[in-house]
Amino acid sequence: METQQILNDLEKRLPIKRFEHVIRVTETAKKLSNHFGVSVEKAELAALLHDVAKYMEPADMRKIIEENSEDSRLLSFHHVIWHAAAGAVIARDEFGIDDSDILNAIRYHTTGRAGMSKLEKIIYIADLIEPGRNFLGIEELRKTTEISIDRAMKSCIVHSIGYLVEKQATVFPDSFECYNEHVQKMNSQLRKET
């Protein structure tokens, strides 16, 4: 499907502020993919479709998750994270995306997970640091992308989990696994440097 067709569809599905967010995430993802040597075309598709299901009714997202054997643990957590798994199914079924890396980038853009590909990390990071985001510490997160993708991912997952803990919200297990993996990776690198 052509980019313009996807944009036309998204304009119908999303409120204007969310559509603008998607455009900013897409531009950020394209820059990051160039910087980290990942296909710009894949990054663009994943970023464009990352929030395709964001404004669906929870009952409709639940149905998609259940009928498509997505991770059933999601249904025990707040429905705000369901749109990622539902979005991956919509990207596959309605937009004809069959690249598993793109689908996983959509699927895990809210929770992260252990073993993320570079593309998955780029979409996760781009969603958090796009230019429309404005919160305490955002500039530090943006600067980590100049160091390494793993450093940026670690900083972003630490921020995300910290935010959820501060709100006393539940944290999906994949996020903890992502956090643990990146902390261990950074600690291992530090030991090698000393």
- Looking at residue 21, its amino acid is H
Architecture of domain 3-193: Orthogonal Bundle (1.10)
List, for residues 94-132, the tens digit of each pLDDT value.
Answer: 999 999 999 999 999 999 999 999 999 999 999 999 999
Taking the C-alpha atoms of residue 78 and residue 81, their distance in angstroms, rounded to an integer, is: 6
Q: Which of 83, 81, 88 is nearest to 105 (CA)?
A: 88
pLDDT band at 88 (very low <50, low <70, confident <90, very high): very high
Q: Three-class SS of residue 47?
A: helix
- Would you state the pLDDT for residue 194? 63
CB atoms within 10 A of CB 180: 12
Q: Which of 104, 133, 112 is nearest to 25 (CA)?
A: 133
Burial level of 49, CB count in 10 A (0-12/13-18/19+)? buried
Can you say whether the dihedral through the CA atoms of 97, 100, 54, 141 is positive or negative? negative
CB atoms within 10 A of CB 129: 24
- Would you state the pLDDT for residue 41? 97
In the chain, where the domains are located:
3-193
55: tokens are 């404004």
Confirm if 157 and 188 have CB atoms less than 8 A apart: no
CB atoms within 10 A of CB 183: 13
CB atoms within 10 A of CB 14: 17
pLDDT band at 192 (very low <50, low <70, confident <90, very high): confident
List, for residues 53-66, the tens digit of each pLDDT value.
Answer: 999 999 999 999 99
CA atoms within 13 A on the CB side of 21: 16
Please provide the size of the chain in residues. 194
- Looking at residue 65, its amino acid is I
List, for residues 1-59, the tens digit of each pLDDT value.
Answer: 789 999 999 999 999 999 999 999 999 999 999 999 999 999 999 999 999 999 999 99
